[in-house]
Amino acid sequence: MTGIAHSRREPAFLAACRRRPTDRTPVWFMRQAGRYTPEYRAARARRNVLAICRRPKLVAQISLQPVERLGVDAAIVFADVRLPFEPLGLGLAYAEQGGLKVWHPIRRPTDVDKLKRVDPARDLAHLLEGVRQTKAGLTARFPDTPLIGSAGAPFTLASYAIEGAASGTCNATKRFMYEHPEAWHALMDKLAALLGSFLTLQAAAGADALQLFDSSVGCLGCDDYREYVLPHSKRVIELAATAGVPIIHFGTDTATLLELMAQAGGDVIGVDWRIPLDAAWARVGDRAIQGNLDPSALHAPPPELERRVQDVLRRAHGRPGHIFNLGHGIQPGTPVKSLKAVVDLVHAHR
């Protein structure tokens, strides 16, 4: 294939990841395969997220829905960032109330030694089969739509492992980091190896791009990120990069961490709505950028939503390398027509 033929056929999403010019700004939504659709809610009424993720056919169905329903430029494999915990022996399971929980959180340095050795190809085979079947479904029905695989970043997973559940402040995590730096780095090492391998295998199973979710990292100051996180995120991204597909490095609440996140790596840096897109891009430098509409804006009246979409596009200024997305996942109860309106507005923009 010549370079020209290649770039002519390259989907806008993948071209933008590589900062190549595109005919239109590509758009997809974090959590687009999820709780806002009636089909997903029907599946969830019968099964919890773990049970859904063990059924590759159902994963493929749920992951393809937004491509059909919304016309987004990429599919993402339905998943939960905590899935890699299952084989580690942290007791990932559902609570009667409150959803997915880590039942044996890490409390002491010795808990890190007790983590089971994980072979992702074997222990996460059901998830990889979900990637494979989603890719097969796309190839059959939407051959031009790329597929995104994903995993939680080491810090976000370590904070779940220590807190036992989502935490806005990550206080226990930071205490563990400061009090037991050796055990912390050992934990992050294990997670980085597991995640790097898991992401590479997702690419081998058909993912055309990979997103690393560091959703909790914004609780850290810059020095903490540099010392306790950066080397491990860098390692995951380096391992995953061997697969040859673009990597999106996403976090929330990262206005002051963006330069360091870019140092850790990623072809694309994903940003939340707290920082204007142009200001974020200036900090990120020579990378593509993904974002950054506030997911709450999808509840605004149509003219206000349109104004906000146009503001993000204006700040991107047509510069190659912008992937339109939300600044965080779609919230439950988001109107489907708002999502569709955003896709149409972004695609109509020239």
Return the number of the residue (201 or 275) whose C-beta is nearest a copy of itself.
275
**Token pair of 330 as six digits:** 């779609």
Catalytic, 287? Answer no
- Which of the following is catalytic: 36, 40, 160, 228? 160
SS3 92: strand
Return the number of the residue (7 or 296) whose C-beta is nearest a copy of itself.
296
Closest CB 259 distance from a copy of itself, rounded Å: 11
Return the number of the residue (125 or 172) whose C-beta is nearest a copy of itself.
172
Return the number of the residue (134 or 215) whose C-beta is nearest a copy of itself.
215
Return the number of the residue (139 or 169) whose C-beta is nearest a copy of itself.
169
DSSP label of 9: H
Residues 46 and 96: their CA atoms lie apart, in Å, by 15
Closest CB 72 distance from a copy of itself, rounded Å: 22
Q: Alpha carbon of 206 to those of 8, 49, 65, 327: distances in Å?
A: 21, 22, 18, 26
**CA angle, 148 as apex, 169 and 5 as ends, to 5°?**
140
Catalytic, 31? Answer yes
Tell me the one-letter amino acid at 121: A
Catalytic, 307? Answer no
Is there a contact between 36 and 330 (Cβ–Cβ < 8 Å)?
A: yes
Is there a contact between 127 and 87 (Cβ–Cβ < 8 Å)?
A: no
Residues 38 and 53: their CA atoms lie apart, in Å, by 18
- Which of the following is catalytic: 19, 36, 80, 272? 80
- Cα–Cα nearest to 155, from 219, 241, 67: 219
- Which of the following is catalytic: 31, 82, 308, 315? 31
- Cα–Cα nearest to 152, from 124, 126, 186: 124
Rounded to 5 degrees, φ, ψ at 37 are -95, 145
Residues 216 and 293: their CA atoms lie apart, in Å, by 19
Omega of the bond leading into 171 within 30 degrees of 0 (cis)? no
Return the number of the residue (47 or 307) whose C-beta is nearest a copy of itself.
307
- Which of the following is catalytic: 18, 20, 24, 35? 35
**Token pair of 10 as six digits:** 């390259």
What is the distance of C-alpha 317 from the center of its chain?
Answer: 24
Residues near a copy of itself (CB under 8 A): 168-171, 174-175, 178-179, 218, 220-224, 253, 255-256, 273-276, 279, 294-297, 299-301, 304, 308, 311, 331
- Which of the following is catalytic: 24, 44, 54, 55? 44
Closest CB 276 distance from a copy of itself, rounded Å: 6
Closest CB 288 distance from a copy of itself, rounded Å: 21
Closest CB 254 distance from a copy of itself, rounded Å: 9
Please identify every residue annotated as catalytic.
31, 35, 44, 80, 160
